[in-house]
Chain A
Amino acid sequence: MIKAILIFNNHGKPRLSKFYEHYNEDTEQQIIRETFHLVSKRDENVCNFLEGGMLIGGSDYKLIYRHYATLYFVFCVDSSESELGILDLIQVKVFVETLDKCFENVCELDLIFHVDKVHNILAEMVMGGMVLETNMNEIITQVDAQNKMEKSEAGIAGAPARAVSAVKNMNLPEMPRNINIGDISIKVPNLPSFK
């Protein structure tokens, strides 16, 4: 069984937390902090397994993690899961690649702003602490179908809302300021905030 799936960045800020066992909010935050503390102090070239922190159940549970650029993906599992299996699940076939496909070159910002979508993708992969599907294509098909449904439900009424959110996104401070067209580089002035 998988007890928890956590994604946090290099500073320990949670980007996604999914607990398959109930803890209250404070304990959840403590677990995230403790896990971050355990994982972040490890070198890059060491193995991806370690024993769980005290809060999550100690040495009966294993933390299996991967570190990508700014993000840590951590699965906390018990002895019935195969370590390599989970490691594969995070990367090679499933989780990160699905995110990559769904967000087109996923980066931390995608996870920050669309945590609900990440949850929906995760729900197609792991359910109630057990692995539901390991086939990436199948997951993507289901996620796409659901997104399509969502869009069709929004219909016309949803259009203005989408437009507004597009306008809002225009104002993102993260928007690129340099656009290179061939040799000429045009400086886009830093737009003042609309507020």
Chain B
Amino acid sequence: MALKIVKGSIDRMFDKNLQDLVRGIRNHKEDEAKYISTCIDEIKQELKQDNIAVKANAVCKLTYLQMLGYDVSWAAFNIVEVMSSSKFTYKRIGYLAASQCFHESTDVIMLTTNQIRKDLSSPNQYDTGVALTGLSCFVTPDLARDLANDIMTLMSHTKPYIRKKAVLIMYKVFLKYPESLRPAFPRLKEKLEDPDPGVQSAAVNVICELARRNPKNYLSLAPLFFKLMTSSTNNWVLIKIIKLFGALTPLEPRLGKKLIEPLTNLIHRKIHIFSSHKMLCSQSHLIVSLSRIAVLISLSSGMPNHSASIQVMKYLGLLAMSKILKTHPKSVQSHKDLILQCLDDKDESIRLRALDLLYGMVSKKNLMEIVKKLMLHVDKAEGTTYRDELLTKIIDICSQSNYQYITNFEWYISILVELTRLEGTRHGHLIASQMLDVAIRVRAIRVFAVAQMATLLDNAHLLTGNMQRMGICEVLYAAAWICGEFSEHLENPMQTLEAMLRPKVATLPGHIQAVYVQNAAKLFATVLKNQEGNTDSTAAQETSQLMIDRLPLFVQSANLEVQERASCILQLVKYIQKLQQKDVEVAEEVCALFAGELNPVAPKAQKKVPVPEGLDLDAWINEPPSESESEDEQPKAIFAKEEPKHSRPRHTEVDEKELARRREARKQEQANNPFYIKASPSSQKAYQEAPGVEHIPVVQIDLSVPLKVPGLPMSDQYVKLEEERRQKERADKKKKEKKKRKEKRSGRGRKHDSGPESEEDITPAHMVDIVTEEMPENALPSDDDDKDPNDPHKALDIDLDKPLADSEKLPVRAHRAAEAPKSPAEDGEAENAASQEPKKKSSKEKREKKKDKDRDRKVRIKWQKDYKSSKHKKKKQKKEKEEKEKKKKKKHHHHHHHSDGGGEESVQNGTVEEEEPLPVSVYDIQGNLQDGSQVVVSVIFENKCDSFLKSMEFNVLDSLNSKLQRPEGSGPHDGLTVPFQLPPGVSNEARFVFTVQSIVMPQKLKGTLTFIVKNEDSSTHEKLDFKLHFTCTSYLITTPCYSDAFAKLLESGDLKCSSVRLEGVIMPFHHLLARICFHHHFSVVERIDSCASMYSRSIQGHHVCLLVKTSGQTVSIDAKCDEPTLLGNVLDEIKQTFSQC
């Protein structure tokens, strides 16, 4: 044996180790790929050997190859083998390899659970450490669930080395398995005060990460952190704590004041903590520090030789400023010059930061100036990335908050046009979309925009000149569209038409050509219209001829869209020409082709269209063909409540009144906002009134602004003009000129002060009409649809101060005694839990709800009412109504998978003529899965009379088998007080818990409800008898089961058989199944043609299996169950269900 080991190790000496591999790769520079592929072959050979040392060596080499970009997932199993070696050396290699290449979808990960658990409890602290480190890289939801408890134990390990790793990894566990947060939190909190600084720092680290996403849950820790901050000397911990406070202070203003002192101390002590102190922004008191930052920046910019560390400070200063800007924009604005200076910095990172700041600093007053500066930089900038960044920033700055700061749109259009002259930018489409947006939404600017775009089209050769500029040719898309759509504003449409049909156009990308062709047609229509007024018809015919001459070029285009449009329009024009030759007036008809106005539609509009009343989007339009559903799932999908497919809240729930209110509020808001003008002229109207001149809000154009700028405009002119305009305006105001201004000049009253102009004083050069984007009628304002439903941190938003419930304990490993491994319910549940975890549950309530949902299935039985014998005749009627109610409920579930028993309405069972209080109508029985002997009955009491009901007492005559659970100390015949009173017409729900010993038999319990009816003058004591019917199916709980588990269950032979035949059932098979599912809480396991297997499970764990077959009108049900009596009763009940219908 010893010899073998020695021999093995001698063999090993000549194997290639990692160093040899690296050396080999370095020596084979020319044919590296070939060399590596031979190495991989060798590794494959090595992995086949039994010697673990050889395997470990191979895995070590694979880790290196993985870094070089080779896929090594094929060796995943070998990695697991090496991980499970008993030697630390190999174990470490294995875990390293695993941490580099395992991920959630690596399937061998599930093999590692036990190995990792073993390593975690290893006596050697480094084994544990290495396992924790590895696990931190590849933890999956399953591993997290299975190991959470082991890791939690390690958090109080004796060795600080293990403790700190265990604490840190908990964050990863929380992310993957949010349920573990609450049970683990107390211990985590404890670790904040751990004697070892490393553990402490790890705990701070984890809590900071948690609190960053959901700060409000961690407010209660503030005092503890405050203490830590004043006592700790570890910089790392301090930085983290300050970050944490940064997240907490916005929620708790008092914290801010408390923090000033310790923070200032800290700043004095260590200047570098500065960087983390972005929280300053939340306090106005700490603005002092802001000036320090400013000083810092100015200091660094003043220094002649820029050393790297000063650059670092400059960067951090700008970063801090950007945070402060959000809350105190004024104080940052005073440093404008400093920031503009930073734009000249040679460091790109600093320039980008400065740009970010500018975005928040603009106002109406300085927008032009800032953009002018930026334009200068655009010209100077050499790297394309930075220039692109500048370009996007300029557009961002100008278009922010619905063009809020733009006072002169002509200026903006000229800026955009200037930007098109940039070489090699990627952002052509951005400029294009801005042009389109402005031209569409600002009606007043269209004349100007069209003129500019016509010039652009004329000079298109400048833009398409070389291939490098392909990005910018997107602008032509916008230009062509604007010229076509608003062609009535064109000075010389003929010329533009000509420009659009140049042969050169064929070199443009297809989608742009398509727009060209389409808009050429629009232009053609306009031209025709202009020319038809003339007596000379040749001009019109020439235009048609031009189209016919040029369009064939596009008809040959390789792009389908271009080809299609071109050939279509070509034929149209040919036809028009024919008509023209017969002297028919066609312009009118041609124009009608393109009549009507296109209104901007908000991007989210489609999503916000509310579902109309009575439209059920989930309902089948046609019943799905039965063949396709043989795969089972389908009926389950309808009835299984635990599959919330639609996480999006449904809009239909909001009632009409609320809708109207919101709509009104929105209109009001828009009306008050001077920059919103409702898009009142609807498209049809515009169409009727043709070029609806009255609708275009008339623009009072300042005479100082020339309407037409020949050639390409210079935006600088506008800056100057704007300056002059403002000055003039101010002068005018000073003189308090008596001439009446036209009312349209400005919507707002202006203050007549001669002081420095404030924001409001700057009137836009045009009364700008920014058309709002259209939203559907009744659209609901909702903001939450932007949130990412997959954000793992959402699941961690958990209330941590609530005491732990028993059910929240982490799963502990235990030998499975009661639950066989194949127990379908167990598996199903685990499956459920795993699949549902990452979704939803953002709030505590939702958690609660979910728990209810998982454990309890609602069972509903009939309320046998025996209230005064004279009312018996009502019974039948009532039953019918209940049936209806049930159906309603069915629908209800169908809609809202979350439906809770409390939400249902009660059946109206009392009638007015009776003049008697009939409080109760519906109840639910919920089996409690956790405790096999408990059943919860929810009763809805509804007061149907005109009197006030109080002192209600609910009492049930206990049987041997079932008992009402009463509070301790009360006798077996005492009633339970219903914890509420009922005013007339009100209903409420109360829950009562029953203990049931045997569930194999159905039973009825007699009960009484006593109450006091209070009228204005008198009060009487009344009594209502009832029966509670506990059917056997009410003890069954819908439990999903997989076909393989189901098969095993049947094979096991523990089950007793029974069968039943139903005759004369005339309903489709899937209805029948649905009925069994719904009324008797089964789920379909598998369905093949007219045969289906179904499964359910009782609260005490009995398995009930059904095999349902149908032929003609006969349905036979073969059933198996480990409890024959239960089975018999369930079958009887099923039979009864079908005999009723």
Which residues of A line the B interface, CB within 8 A? 1, 14, 16-18, 20, 22, 24-26, 28-29, 42-51, 80, 82-85, 87-88, 112-116, 119-120, 123, 127-135, 138, 142, 145-146, 149-150, 153-154, 157-158, 160-161, 164-165, 168-169, 172
Verify A45–B311 contact, CB threshold 8 A. Answer: yes
The reply to whether B22 and A112 form a contact with Cβ atoms under 8 Å apart is yes
Check B350 against A47 for contact (C-beta < 8 Å): yes
Flag if B165 contacts A127 (CB, 8 Å).
yes
User: A168 and B312 in contact (CB under 8 A), knowing A25-B69, A80-B209, A120-B96?
Assistant: no
B126 touches A48 (CB 8 A): no
Structural contact, A131 and B312, CB atoms closer than 8 A: no
* Residues of B contacting A46 in the complex (Cβ-Cβ under 8 angstroms): 308, 311, 346-350
Q: Is the CB of B168 within 8 A of A47?
A: no
Known: A83-B319, A142-B129. 9 other contacts (CB 8 A): A29-B69, A45-B311, A82-B240, A83-B316, A113-B22, A135-B197, A149-B88, A150-B92, A169-B19
What's the least CB distance linking A41 to chain B, in Å? 8
Question: How far does the alpha carbon of A55 sit from the alpha carbon of B169 in the complex, in Å?
Answer: 26
**A132 B312 Cβ-Cβ under 8 A:** no
Question: Which of B236, B272, B276 makes the CB contact (< 8 A) with A131?
Answer: B236
Task: Report the 8 A-B pairs with minimum CB-CB distance, sorted nearest first.
Answer: A128-B136, A22-B103, A47-B311, A46-B347, A29-B69, A164-B13, A47-B315, A82-B276
B235:A150 contact, CB within 8 angstroms: no
Interface string of B341-379 (1 = CB under 8 A from A): 000001111101000000000000000000000000000
Q: Is B340 engaged at the interface, CB distance under 8 Å to the other chain? A: no
B206 touches A165 (CB 8 A): no
Q: How far is the CA of A117 from the CA of B694 in the complex (A)?
A: 79
Q: Kindly state the separation between the CA atoms of A45 and B315 in the bound complex, as whole angstroms.
A: 13
| Docked CA distance A87–B970 (Å) | 70
**How far apart are the CA atoms of A123 and B69 in the complex, in Å?**
21
Query: Can you identify 11 A-B contacts, CB atoms within 8 angstroms?
Result: A14-B67, A42-B347, A43-B347, A46-B346, A51-B352, A80-B208, A80-B209, A119-B96, A128-B168, A130-B171, A131-B205
Q: Is there contact, CB below 8 Å, between A116 and B63?
A: yes
Q: Look across to chain A and name the residue whose beta carbon is closest to the beta carbon of B5.
A: A157
Contacting A at CB under 8 A, from B119-159, are 124, 126, 129-130, 132-133, 136-137, 139
CB distance from A83 to the nearest CB of B (A): 6
Question: Contacts A47-B315, A116-B60 known; A130 to B349 CB distance under 8 Å?
Answer: no
Question: What is the CA–CA distance of A22 and B350 in the complex, to the nearest angstrom?
Answer: 31
Distance of A128 Cα from B103 Cα, bound (Å): 13
B308-333, CB < 8 A from A: 308, 311-312, 314-316, 319
Q: Is there contact, CB below 8 Å, between A153 and B14? A: no
**A127 and B71 in contact (CB under 8 A), knowing A20-B137, A45-B308, A46-B311?**
no
In the assembled complex, which residues on chain A have CB atoms less than 8 Å from the CB atom of B208? 80
Contact A154 B5 (CB under 8 A): no
Q: Is the CB of B68 within 8 A of A43?
A: no
Check A128–B172 contact: CB distance below 8 A. yes
A87 to B349, CA, bound (A): 16
B68-111 CB contacts (< 8 Å) to partner A: 68-71, 87-89, 92-93, 96, 100, 103-104
Docked-complex contact B311 and A115, CB < 8 angstroms: no
User: Do residues A138 and B198 form an inter-chain contact, with CB atoms below 8 A?
Assistant: yes
Known: A116-B18, A149-B88, A153-B89. A1 touches B209 (CB 8 A): yes
**In the complex with contacts A113-B18, A132-B165, A80-B346 CB distance below 8 A:** no
Q: Does B212 contact A (CB under 8 A)?
A: yes
Describe B's contact surface by its main secondary structure.
helix
B239 CB-CB contact with A under 8 Å: yes
Query: Chain A residues with Cβ under 8 A from B350's Cβ?
Result: 46-47
How close is B391's CB to chain A, nearest CB, in angstroms?
16
A51 and B349: CB pair below 8 A? yes
Determine whether the beta carbon of A146 is less than 8 Å from that of B314: no
Task: Report the separation of the CA atoms of residues A90 and B490 in the bound assembly, to the nearest whole angstrom.
Answer: 63
Name the interface residues of B53-71: CB closer than 8 Å to any CB of A. 60, 63-64, 66-71
Chain B residue nearest in CB terms to A14: B67
A65 to B18, CA, bound (A): 28
Chain B residues lying within 8 Å of A115, measured Cβ to Cβ, are 18, 63-64, 67
Minimal Cβ-Cβ distance residue in B for A163: B13
Interface assignment of B652: CB less than 8 Å from any CB of chain A: no
**How far, in Å, is B320 (CB) from chain A's closest CB?**
11
Query: In residues 1-53 of chain B, which contact A (Cβ within 8 Å)?
Result: 5-6, 9-10, 12-14, 17-20, 22-23, 26
B236 vs chain A, min Cβ distance (A): 5
CA distance A172 to B24 in the complex (A): 11
Nearest A-chain residue to B27, judged by Cβ: A173
Q: Return chain A residues, CB-CB under 8 Å to B235.
A: 85, 88, 134
Instruction: Report the bound CA distance from A119 to B350 in whole Å.
Output: 33
Chain B residue, CB-CB nearest to A18: B100
Residue contact A127 to B133, C-beta cutoff 8 Å: yes
Given A113-B18, A119-B96; A80-B243 close (CB under 8 Å):
yes
Cα-based distance from A112 to B165 in the complex (angstroms): 28
The reply to whether A83 and B161 contact each other, CB–CB distance below 8 Å, is no
Question: Which listed residue (A128, A135, A161) contacts B9, Cβ 8 A?
Answer: A161
A47 and B349 form a contact (CB under 8 A):
yes
User: B126 touching A146 by the CB < 8 A rule?
Assistant: yes
Kindly name the residue among A44, A84, A150, A160 whose own CB sees the greatest number of chain B CB atoms within 10 A: A84
Interfacial chain B residues near A168, Cβ < 8 Å: 19-20
Q: When the two chains form their complex, are residues A25 and B71 in contact, meaning their CB atoms are under 8 A apart? A: yes
> In this complex, what residue of A is CB-closest to B196?
A138
Report the Cα distance A28→B68, complex, angstroms: 9
Within the complex, which residue of A42, A116, A127, A133 is in contact with B136, where a contact is CB–CB below 8 Å? A127
Contact in complex: A50, B87 (CB < 8 Å):
no
Separation of A59 and B6 alpha carbons in the complex (Å)? 56
User: How distant is the Cα of A20 from the Cα of B209 in the complex, in angstroms?
Assistant: 15
Q: Min CB distance, B287 to chain A, in Å?
A: 22
Residues in chain B near residue A165, CB distance under 8 A: 17, 19
Interchain nearest-CB distance for A118 vs B (Å): 11
* CB nearest to B305 among chain A residues: A45
In residues 908-962 of chain B, which contact A (Cβ within 8 Å)? none
Tell me the smallest distance from the CB of B685 to a CB of chain A, in Å: 45
For A193, give the chain B residue with the smallest CB separation: B27
Report whether B9 and A26 are in contact in the complex, using a CB–CB cutoff of 8 Å: no
Q: Which residue of B lies closest to A159 (CB)?
A: B9
CA distance A146 to B236 in the complex (A): 26
Closest Cβ of chain B to A186, distance in Å, is 26
Taken together as a complex, chains A and B put the C-alpha atoms of A85 and B70 apart, in Å, by 33
Q: Given contacts A116-B60, A120-B92, is CB(A132)–CB(B202) below 8 Å? A: yes
In the assembled complex, B1111 has its CB within 8 A of some CB on chain A:
no
B860 at the A interface (CB under 8 A): no
Please measure, in the bound complex, the distance between the C-alpha atom of A88 and the C-alpha atom of B347, giving whole angstroms.
Answer: 21
* Closest chain B CB from A182 CB (angstroms): 33
Complexed CA–CA distance, A116 and B60 (Å): 8
Question: What is the minimal beta-carbon distance from B374 to any residue of chain A, in angstroms?
Answer: 19
B308 contacts A26, C-beta separation under 8 Å: no
Q: Which of B195-248 contact A (CB under 8 A)?
A: 197-198, 201-202, 205-206, 208-209, 212, 234-236, 239-240, 243
- Report B232 CB to chain A, min CB distance, Å: 12
B164 contacts partner chain A, Cβ-Cβ < 8 Å: yes
Q: Which residues of A lie under 8 Å from residue B87 when comparing CB positions?
A: 153
Q: Which residues of A contact B70 (CB under 8 A)?
A: 25
Pairwise interchain contact A134-B67, C-beta atoms closer than 8 A? no
Q: Which residue of A lies closest to B169 (CB)?
A: A128
Q: How far is the CA of A123 from the CA of B13 in the complex (A)?
A: 28
Please give the distance in Å from B32's CB to the nearest CB on chain A: 11
Known: A46-B349, A146-B126, A157-B5. A22 touches B136 (CB 8 A): no
Q: Report the separation of the CA atoms of residues A134 and B198 in the bound assembly, to the nearest whole angstrom.
A: 8
| Cβ distance A162 to chain B, nearest Cβ, rounded Å | 9
A24 CA / B73 CA spacing, docked (Å): 10
Cβ B89 vs Cβ A84 within 8 A: no
Most buried by B among A116, A160, A165: A116
Q: Which residues of B contact A157 (CB under 8 A)?
A: 5-6, 9
Q: Complex: how many Å from CA A1 to CA B275?
A: 17
Which residue of chain B has the shortest Cβ distance to A160 in the bound complex? B13
Distance in Å: Cβ of B305 to nearest Cβ of chain A: 9
